[in-house]
A and B are shown apart, each in its own frame.
Chain A
Amino acid sequence: MDTREKVIQELDKRYNRLVGTSATNLCTHCGWCIESCHIFKATGNPEHSPVAKAEKVRRVLKRKHDWLSRLFPKWTGAKDLTESDLDEWIEAAFKNCTLCERCVINCPMGVETPQILATARGVLTAMGKSPEILNQLTDAAIAREENMEMMEGFFRKQIANLEKQVQERMNDSNARIPVSEEADILYVPLSGAHTMVPAALIFNAAKANWTMSLFEASNYGVFVADIPKAKKVVERVLKEAKKVKAKTLVVTECGHAYGVLKWEAPKWFGKQFDFEVKSLLEVMNDYIQEGKIVLDPSKNSEPVTYHDPCNIGRKGGIFEEPRNVIQASSKEYKEMTPSKVENFCCGGGSGMVACSEWTEDRLLYGTVKVEQIKKTNAKKVVTACDNCLHQIKELGEKNNLNISVSNVSEHLANALVFS
């Protein structure tokens, strides 16, 4: 089977109703989406408009699925796939699109450009052409479960050290970070302590019945659209949730991990899970509303703004909870413009942060975000996604923004009053 046949076969596997609708004559090439894209706004390159990126894939799909394109491809811009097209797909789908969906909400027709480009990502992965680092990180997550006997002892030792930090900060020797024990809440962190310590402080302060997962929430399989591997990464957590008899699975502040565990994984497995999936943002908000934690906003005295991660906000539906948490734990809150469903991507999403070869481009793609931050006059940017956190920190340094950056739980933990 030659490359072209294999690509077509892989495209067919992924050709569903969403892709099929957006890949035919729905797009009128009106160009309304163009200015909605942070990447086009940063570069002004016609190749970087959402429609131009989608078109690179759509013209191949049209050649197969659109009647007129089958007969007169040049008339509709359709074409047969060539090897060089795949290189263009890598640029369009991985490097020049963060799948933020801002173009979708600005399209008068409802064209799902990110669905088309995510399809291209899946095909490129199947062809062995997706960024190697993203595949390696996916495989590493799967290997972690396979080598758990070796990893667990080391992980528990690290957690024991973090537990001491929590006890010191709370001045409470009973504060704990239970790991993979029976509990109502299974908290799934990332591999960094910044997603473990603040959460542990909050859970202990709220006297929650919780436990920490042995596994990290991140799932690079979704960035390369390798659903079988992404499912394996999720399965580790599902098994653990069953083992600890969790009623709620709480996902740390990680945009794509929340999107995967809350919305995508149930579709992959074809069912709703036996437990509720919540973001740590929602849990923190619940604790504040229920009076389970006491806060001193004066501990966060600098003006603070919030960056909506695309996977949490526009793709995940969480807008008010982080704002409630930040406002309850800060003296001065400043809203970014635009925000919520219209917020701009920081430029670091969908695996861009991990791909070091594209660092320069990524920082350029954050130009709009830099301007947004400047306009708030905030001294601190709080966000709820590790990729955004990393990107905004780098943007701040590169552009001398003189800001600090933290996740929401760190910000909240800083304002906690321990009784």
Chain B
Amino acid sequence: MDSQSFMHFVEYELQAIAITWMVVMYTIKAVQLSRLPMPWEKEKPKGSGAKGILRSYGSIFMPWSVESSRKHMGRWIGFSLYHVGCLVAIVNTFTYTFTPGMMTPTVKIVFSALIAPAIFIGFIKFYNRLSRPELRHISTPDDYFSLLSLQLFFFTGIMALLLDTVFWRSSYYIITAAFLFYVPFSKISHYIYFFFARFLTGKRYGWRGIIPQK
């Protein structure tokens, strides 16, 4: 296989297989969860379930409304930048392949600048996990591996954007594919469960008039 065929394979076929795999795994998980019994509220509502759900999803964007964010604004900013980095690195796997015309040098620098802070924050996360006894106590090999593999994903993403060589580009796509295969099994899949959990918690709290607070 020449380098052009190889690049085509890692950018298209491999990604398609990996994404299909991830979607199938998530679908199975979603079906499994949906089949579990759910003790929905039966008493008439004191508030609004819909407003509770909206507030529940929105709270992540309203750091002033939750003590754990409000009191640690630096942590919340780090959390936000980290997830922006994740999002841009994921979006980049599509834009790089499907809209090459859009990827001007300026866009590449902007993307890199948005991903770069995530690497820095990733190191802080890693340091905290090792140095804080209460975090070390609950950390598993999957926690460390997930963090480090994301660092690698970010790093190869930036290198592919800035240098655009076959090596960095193929590394980025291979790591992306490996990631997509692994994610449904790891704690990184929290973003899928997030939507279930926030819906359930928000609905109950909203129904009972607990959130949104007046």
CB within 8 A of B197: which of A30, A55, A109? A109
**Bitwise interface map of B from 184 to 197 toward A, beta carbon under 8 Å scored 1, else 0:** 11111110011011
Per a CB cutoff under 8 Å, which of A18, A36, A112 touches B38?
A: A18
Are B187 and A28 interface neighbours, CB within 8 A? yes
B1-48 CB contacts (< 8 Å) to partner A: 32-34, 36-44, 46-47
Chain A 304-331 interface residues, beta-carbon cutoff 8 Å to B: 313-317, 319-320
The docked-state distance in angstroms from the alpha carbon of A29 to that of B145 is 13
A46 close to B133 (CB less than 8 A): yes
Which of A72-80, A134-142, A149-157, A190-198 is near enough to bind chain B? A72-80
How many chain A residues have a CB neighbour from B under 8 Å?
Answer: 64
Answer yes or no: A291 CB below 8 A from chain B CBs: no
Which residues on the B side are within 8 Å of A320 (C-beta)?
214
On whether the beta carbons of B138 and A110 are closer than 8 Å, the reply is no
Which residues from A are CB-within-8-Å of B209? 317
- B143 → chain A closest CB, angstroms: 5
Contact residue among B33, B198, B214 (Cβ-Cβ distance under 8 Å from A110): B198
* A106 and chain B: residue at smallest CB distance: B68
Are the C-beta atoms of A317 and B46 separated by less than 8 Å?
yes
The size of the chain B interface, using a CB distance under 8 A, is 60
A68 to B136, CA, bound (A): 21
Q: Does A34 contact B (CB under 8 A)?
A: yes
Q: Which of A207-215, A336-344, A386-394, A396-404 contacts B (4 or more CB under 8 A)?
A: A336-344
Interface string of A199-226 (1 = CB under 8 A from B): 0000000000000000000000000000
User: Are the CB atoms of B43 and A68 closer together than 8 Å?
Assistant: no
**B96 CB–A CB distance under 8 Å:** no
Contact pick for B189, options A16, A25, A342, CB 8 Å = A25
On whether the beta carbons of B197 and A22 are closer than 8 Å, the reply is yes
Residue of chain A at shortest CB distance from B29:
A24
**Which of A16, A46, A75 is in CB contact (< 8 Å) with B39?**
A16
**CB distance B42 to A341 under 8 Å?**
no
Report B163-177 CB contacts with A as 1/0, cut-off 8 Å.
Answer: 000000000000000
Instruction: Give which listed residue, B44, B68, B140, B210, contacts A32 with CB less than 8 A.
Output: B68
Q: Report yes or no: A74 in contact with B42, Cβ–Cβ below 8 A.
A: no
Q: Does A364 contact B (CB under 8 A)?
A: no
Tell me how far the C-beta of A33 lies from the nearest C-beta in chain B, rounded to whole angstroms. Answer: 7
Given contacts A25-B193, A109-B190, A263-B208, contact A20 B36 (CB under 8 A): yes
Asked if A52 is an interface residue, CB under 8 A from chain B, the answer is: yes
A263–B43 touching, CB < 8 Å:
yes
The B contact surface, by secondary structure, is: helix
Contact A26 B132 (CB under 8 A): no
Q: How far is the CA of A243 from the CA of B101 in the complex (A)?
A: 77
Residues of A within 8 A of B198 (CB): 109-110
B56 near A266: Cβ-Cβ < 8 Å: no
Q: Given A16-B36, A262-B43, A267-B39, is A314 in contact with B210 using a C-beta cutoff of 8 Å?
A: yes
* CB of B9 to closest CB in A, whole Å: 27
In the assembly, what is the distance between CA of A18 and CA of B201, in Å? 8
Residues of A within 8 A of B186 (CB): 25, 68
List, in ascending order, chain B residues with CB within 8 A of A17's CB. Answer: 33-34, 36-38, 196, 200
Contact yes or no, B33 A20, CB < 8 A: yes
B60 on interface, CB distance cutoff 8 Å: yes
Residues of B within 8 A of A27 (CB): 187, 190
B201 touches A74 (CB 8 A): no
Contact of B66 with A by CB under 8 A: yes
In the complex, whether A105 has a CB less than 8 A from a CB of chain B is yes
Known: A29-B187, A75-B141, A341-B210. A266 touches B42 (CB 8 A): yes
A68-B185, A317-B47 known; A112+B197 contact, CB < 8 A: yes
CB distance from A286 to the nearest CB of B (A): 14
CB pairs A–B below 8 angstroms (9 shown): A17-B37, A28-B190, A35-B71, A46-B137, A109-B197, A267-B39, A267-B41, A315-B210, A317-B209
Interfacial residues, chain B to chain A (CB-CB below 8 A): 32-34, 36-44, 46-47, 56, 60, 66-69, 71-72, 75, 79, 128, 132-143, 145, 184-190, 193-194, 196-198, 200-202, 205, 208-211, 213-214
